[in-house]
Amino acid sequence: MAATPPRTPFLGLPPWPERQAVARALRTETVGGLVLLAAAVVALAWANTPLSDAYTTIRDFHFGIPALGLDLSVGHWTSDGLLTVFFLVVGIELKREMVVGSLRTPATAALPVIAAVCGMAVPAAFYAVTVAAGGGSRDGWAVPMATDIAFALAVLAVISTHLPTALRAFLLTLAVVDDLGAILVIAVFFTSDINHRALAGAIAGLVVFSMLQRQRVRGWWWYAPLGVAIWALLYNAGIHATVAGVAMGLILRTVRDRDEEESPAERTGRLLHPLSAGLCVPLFALFAAGVSVSGDALGKVFTTPEPLGVIVGLVAGKTLGIFAGTYMAARFTRARLNPDLAWADVLALAALAGIGFTVALLIGELAFPGTAAVGEHVKAAVLIASLTAALLATLLLRRRNAVYRRLSEEEHLDADADGIPDIYQRTEADGA
């Protein structure tokens, strides 16, 4: 009788190269998340002081090149322009995950993908049920689908948890798949009338971009003007311009050649990641998070179906969706939870993923563009839900922090000072 193959470990220690890549990405995201938190606080304070008129005037000030269809407000430049850099970094990270990371094989991709899909579908369903019961608009069904990795990591930094690398890597993979889902939703469901000539031009630009990569053409002076042209053409085509960022990120070559120290994707990600996390996303938050927090406005958040649906979706839907999706996927596959961890850790991580913020605010603006009151209430709901999810996750994570501290110390112990933690050398020796 054939022996039963061993069950695949879930949330086990990632390979050393993968851990190094994850650590680099998370380090930048954590710092960027703290800047993002500061920008959100400034936006809220600014919009709720006697200087609120100045905030509105700056946010709504238009500039650009009207002849090219690019006469946008400051707020729109940050959401349609600066966030393209953010989604370019997302595209690069997604490509890396698919080529060398957690999404490279069906076996390793199954759990995070199923968890992320459930973490998008269940919040959307919770929103739909809530607004149906209250007679509201279903236009905002996609708002509670997104996870803000930078905000989540900033929360971890503030509460000083010692979360193991496996949990952080799983959260990062969840957020990457989440962002892909968000950009697909934006491209498919929030596209206005298509300008086919502009779309054809954008596609031609992406083909040229791909050819330059295949021919190993180097030099930012080729790619920067071409990238701006692709962005402008997609914007004029009626497709949200941030789609250009993901498309170019997915085209960039991830595997380095023998004569390269870094692949184009690695080099571009290294250069743009700090810019995205430290400037582009915080500036978007500065002009998107400025909402009124008066007693009347807060009351409307909990009595109006649309913002209430966002809160229910992000806080309850995200937590239940990710946890249930992960548990069921592990139950019906050969995945075995890391014996050093518990399902309570997955629940805490699922609650942390309820922090929507950046992409949730973006989708909220797209879902309710002509309904100022509802749109403002939805923004407030995103802020309240993200804060609630952060507090809930904090309570769940702090209960297990002693376990996390022990695991973190084991992961970082390097007694022989050779630059590689001892746990990796023991693992290699055990497998030899």
CATH number of the domain to which 62 belongs: 1.20.1530.10
Residues 199 and 290 in one domain: no
Place of tokens 């990600």: 269
Residue pair 178/120 in contact (Cβ under 8 Å)? The answer is yes
- Tens of each residue's pLDDT in the chain, 432 residues: 444 444 556 777 777 777 777 777 777 777 888 888 899 999 989 988 888 899 999 999 999 888 878 888 998 899 889 999 999 998 998 898 888 777 888 777 888 889 999 999 999 999 999 999 988 888 899 999 988 888 888 888 777 677 888 888 888 888 888 888 888 898 888 877 889 999 999 999 999 999 999 999 988 899 999 999 999 999 999 888 889 999 999 999 998 888 888 899 999 998 998 899 889 999 999 998 888 777 777 888 888 999 999 999 999 999 999 999 999 988 887 778 888 889 999 999 999 999 988 889 989 988 888 667 788 899 999 999 999 999 999 999 988 888 888 888 887 777 776 777 767 766 554 544
Give domain status of residue 274, yes or no.
Answer: yes
Residues 145 and 204 in one domain: no
Residues 206 and 292 in one domain: no
Residue pair 7/15 in contact (Cβ under 8 Å)? The answer is no
Residues 275 and 210 in one domain: no
Q: Which residue, 174, 151, 127, is CA-closest to 325?
A: 174
Give domain status of residue 6, yes or no.
Answer: no
Residues 308 and 218 in one domain: no
Angle, vertex CA 321, rays to CA 150 and CA 185, nearest 5: 65
Residues 163 and 203 in one domain: no
Q: Which residues are CB-contacts of 313 (< 8 A; sequence separation ≥ 6)?
A: 123, 124, 126, 127, 130, 143, 144, 145, 385
- According to DSSP, the residues that pair with 65 across neighbouring strands are 70
Residues 354 and 370 in one domain: yes
Give domain status of residue 335, yes or no.
Answer: yes
CA distance 169 to 18: 9
Residues 186 and 201 in one domain: no
Instruction: Give the structural domain span for 197.
Output: 191-239
Residues 54 and 150 in one domain: yes
Could you give phi then psi for residue 63, rounded to 5 degrees?
-160, 165
Burial 160-179 (b: 16+ CB within 10 A, else e): ebbbbbbbbbbbbbbbbbbb
Residues 166 and 218 in one domain: no
Residues 295 and 391 in one domain: yes
Could you give phi then psi for residue 333, rounded to 5 degrees?
-120, -170
Residue pair 154/33 in contact (Cβ under 8 Å)? The answer is yes
Residues 139 and 285 in one domain: yes
Number of compact structural domains in the chain: 2
